[in-house]
């Protein structure tokens, strides 16, 4: 294996090839995977293909360590979900889980080896205040937050600021819709709520339907401003496409739903980069249909240049001279997507002039 | 500034270090034995660097520790390069390694049997560890105790011993031959200097040891040396609180720790005089 900037994506695409990896190949791959939050996922992929015994001892220790950590995170998520149900079942009837937590309770492939940042739930907007009060009783409160940021969240965002449980250090993101209120694409949250499906064997839990789950993951990733976990999120999408695309009718409802919710653009990008970077198999008629919804050529050229760099490990070996400008462009773009220009310019100025000191001692 | 690369072997781990820090370049050959410097291995467990961030090279220069290319701590004064490297490496081990149970504790060995010395900063843990290591015990580790769950054996790291403030002089007076790094002043923990482990500890860093004693020290100036037994259950709970990846390991963490405590005699030690404390613990090791 020669050293390549996309060697991590290559390994995720085809873990069987790792049977031939030299120690020197692993020496480059392990740090890249760990930085991208994908070492645990890689361990699972290897376990299911060539087996962890096919990996040299010294490397296997790191893969096992990452898997042990991912298993712990998964136990924590399950525990926290139980606490959420206890707190919220009387108010909401059922708790709607999004992203990582949804993958775990429905045992979808992206749950395997995943590192979770927080738990995301979807709540009807008129219930927000009640839910926030109930969560507060359970120990989840606003973390330390600048009043400007809090105002920003509450006024413009699709979620309230993250709530942190100080006793366990777990965080919950409470969403009331999937995209910011100010976004160019407005979304009626009621349509989403109507489409949720119950989780088998867990009467108080629900998740989005497969098309909505994919669209949510896509809209989130492609309006994102930071890409430390970009490849991990793209890999989630790849696994969802493979899983849902494998059986029954998925593609047709997905394309219809994207059109109805005006989310063609993020779906186009999700399919384009998942197949390009991770080799996601997509039926040709879906490709043809989506090509008709593609963005203008110049936009696409710019997006290609940026996203191809964003979907690499944040490790320095995966960067090139244009990675910095590409990530900066995507950061500004994410804000532009969220807010009209007359709101955006003052916001970014404020961000830029305020002290950006972050204490990196907190891992 | 010219940066140099080193490949360090410390117990089970291989570390690839890139640094341009004059302080660290000066300290490395003094603190680490020639045996710890190895030819470039094909695979290293940790890739780290200690250097100045681009913008901080000329104006109020600072030093930072990068793990796999990412900064871990807020930048420190350049004179702190040595403790920054050591604590960075501790961070790397304790956040990525889960094939061992890792306890925040010192550990030393005598006759194949290990003594685990947990303790908060200021408890006299490192001082006691150094005292024992320079009086015939073998140093396993002064900061991170690694235990293999399958065999309930302690692994040695045999890395430099981290000493703070008054304890630097106390340890220096143990023997004229001890090598120290130049003190780093005004760190979060005051003045810090690292001591090179004794020859024998490095030569035998691949030898494992069985747990036998768990001793919680409390240092107090002028205090008489007093060793008293401690209930096992209480020891278990306190050790679990000091075990960095106890929760991550789940059942394995619980069972490993239970086995360690079951196989050990548990004590607390109040001491004010290092030599006296060392004598008492050495006697203990000869009696049982």
Give the ipTM: 0.93
Q: What's the pLDDT at A183? A: 59
- Does A31 reach chain B within 8 Å, measured CB to CB? yes
CB-based contact B99 A34, cutoff 8 Å: no
pLDDT at A2 over 50: no
pLDDT band at A158 (very low <50, low <70, confident <90, very high): confident
**pLDDT on residue B120:** 78
pLDDT at B288: 65
The CATH code for residues B101-159+197-287 is 3.90.228.20
Q: Closest partner residue to A315 among B69, B73, B250, by Cβ?
A: B69
Contact A61 B99 (CB under 8 A): yes
Q: How far apart are CA A124 and CA A177, in angstroms?
A: 8
Contact yes or no for B43 and A56 at CB 8 A? yes
Interface test with B, best of A34, A36, A315, A360 (most B CBs within 10 A): A360
Is A27 in CB contact (< 8 Å) with chain B? yes
Q: Which two three-digit tokens encode residue A141?
A: 């409160």
Q: Nearest by CB to B99, which of A65, A315, A359?
A: A65
Give A-chain residues touching B14 at CB under 8 angstroms.
58
- Is the pLDDT at A360 greater than 50? The verdict is no
pLDDT tens-place string over residues B128-145: 999 999 999 999 999 999
pLDDT tens across A47-70, in order? 999 999 999 999 999 999 999 999
- The residue of chain B nearest to residue A56, with distances taken between CA atoms, is B43
Q: Kindly report, as residue ranges, where domains of CATH 3.90.228.20 are found in chain B.
A: 101-159+197-287
* pTM of structure: 0.90
Residue A1 has pLDDT above 50, yes or no: no
Q: Does the beta-carbon distance from A61 to B96 stay under 8 Å?
A: no
Mean local confidence (pLDDT), A133-153: 84
Of residues A27, A59, A363, nearest to B95 (C-beta): A363
Each residue's pLDDT tens digit in chain B (288 positions)?
Answer: 579 999 999 999 999 999 999 999 999 999 999 999 999 999 999 999 999 877 666 677 899 999 999 999 999 999 999 999 999 999 999 999 999 999 999 999 999 999 999 987 778 899 999 999 999 999 999 999 999 999 999 999 999 999 999 999 999 999 999 999 999 999 988 999 999 999 999 999 999 999 999 999 999 989 999 999 999 999 999 999 999 999 999 999 999 999 999 999 999 999 999 999 999 999 999 986
- Which residue did the predictor score with more confidence, A168 or A98? A98
């Amino acid at each position: 294996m020669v050293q390549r900037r996309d060697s991590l994506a290559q390994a995720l695409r085809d873990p069987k090839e790792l049977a031939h990896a030299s120690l020197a190949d692993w020496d480059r791959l392990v740090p890249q995977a760990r930085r991208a939050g994908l070492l645990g996922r890689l361990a699972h992929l290897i376990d299911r293909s060539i087996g962890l015994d096919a990996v040299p001892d010294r490397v296997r220790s790191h893969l096992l360590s990452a898997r042990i950590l991912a298993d712990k995170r998964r136990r924590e998520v399950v525990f926290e979900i139980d606490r959420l149900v206890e707190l919220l079942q009387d108010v909401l009837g059922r708790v709607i889980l999004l992203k990582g937590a949804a993958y775990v309770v429905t045992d979808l492939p992206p749950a395997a080896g995943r590192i979770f940042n927080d738990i995301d739930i979807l709540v009807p907007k008129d219930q927000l205040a009640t839910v926030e009060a109930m969560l507060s009783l359970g120990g989840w409160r606003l973390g330390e937050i600048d009043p400007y940021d809090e105002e920003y969240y509450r006024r413009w965002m699709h979620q309230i600021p993250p709530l942190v449980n100080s006793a366990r250090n777990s965080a919950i993101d409470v969403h009331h819709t999937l995209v910011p209120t100010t976004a160019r694409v407005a979304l009626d949250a009621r349509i989403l709520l109507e489409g949720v499906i119950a989780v088998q064997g867990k009467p108080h839990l629900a998740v989005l339907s497969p098309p909505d789950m994919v669209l949510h993951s896509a809209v989130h990733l492609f309006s994102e401003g930071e890409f430390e976990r970009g490849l991990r999120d793209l890999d989630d999408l790849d696994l969802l496409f493979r899983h849902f695309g494998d059986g029954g009718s998925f593609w047709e409802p997905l394309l219809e739903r994207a059109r109805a919710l005006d989310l063609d653009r993020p779906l186009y990008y999700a399919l384009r980069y998942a197949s390009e970077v991770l080799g996601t198999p997509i039926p040709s008629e879906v490709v043809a249909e989506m090509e008709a919804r593609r963005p203008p050529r110049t936009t696409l050229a710019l997006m290609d240049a940026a996203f191809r760099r964003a979907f690499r490990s944040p490790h320095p070996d995966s960067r090139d001279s244009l990675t910095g400008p590409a990530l900066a462009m995507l950061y500004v773009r994410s804000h532009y997507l969220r807010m009209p220009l007359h709101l955006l310019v003052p916001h970014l100025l404020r961000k830029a002039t305020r002290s950006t000191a972050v204490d990196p001692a907190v891992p | 500034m010219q940066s140099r690369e080193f490949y360090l072997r410390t117990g089970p781990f291989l570390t690839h270090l890139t640094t341009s820090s004059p302080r660290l370049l000066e300290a490395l050959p003094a603190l680490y034995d020639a045996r710890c410097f190895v030819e470039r291995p094909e695979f290293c467990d940790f890739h780290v660097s200690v250097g100045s961030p681009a913008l901080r090279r000329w104006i109020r220069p600072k030093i930072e520790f990068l793990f796999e290319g990412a900064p871990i701590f807020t930048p420190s004064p350049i004179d702190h390069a040595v403790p920054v490297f050591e604590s960075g490496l501790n961070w790397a081990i304790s956040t990525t390694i889960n094939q061992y149970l890792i306890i925040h504790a010192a550990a030393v060995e005598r006759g194949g049997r290990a003594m685990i010395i947990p303790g908060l900063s200021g408890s006299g843990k490192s001082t006691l560890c150094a005292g024992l290591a320079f009086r015939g015990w073998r140093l396993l580790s002064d900061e991170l105790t690694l235990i293999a769950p399958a065999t309930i054996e302690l692994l040695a790291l045999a890395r430099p011993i981290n000493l703070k403030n008054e304890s630097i002089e106390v340890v220096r007076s143990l023997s004229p031959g001890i090598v120290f790094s130049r003190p780093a002043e005004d760190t979060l923990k005051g003045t810090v200097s690292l001591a090179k482990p004794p020859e024998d500890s490095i030569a035998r860093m691949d030898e494992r040891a069985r747990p036998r004693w768990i001793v919680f020290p409390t240092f107090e100036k002028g205090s008489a040396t007093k060793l008293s037994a401690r209930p096992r259950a209480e020891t278990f709970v306190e050790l679990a609180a000091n075990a960095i990846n106890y929760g991550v390991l789940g059942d394995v963490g619980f069972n490993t720790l239970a086995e360690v405590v079951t196989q050990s005699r548990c004590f607390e030690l109040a001491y004010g005089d290092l030599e006296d404390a060392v004598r008492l613990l050495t006697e203990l090791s000869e009696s049982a």
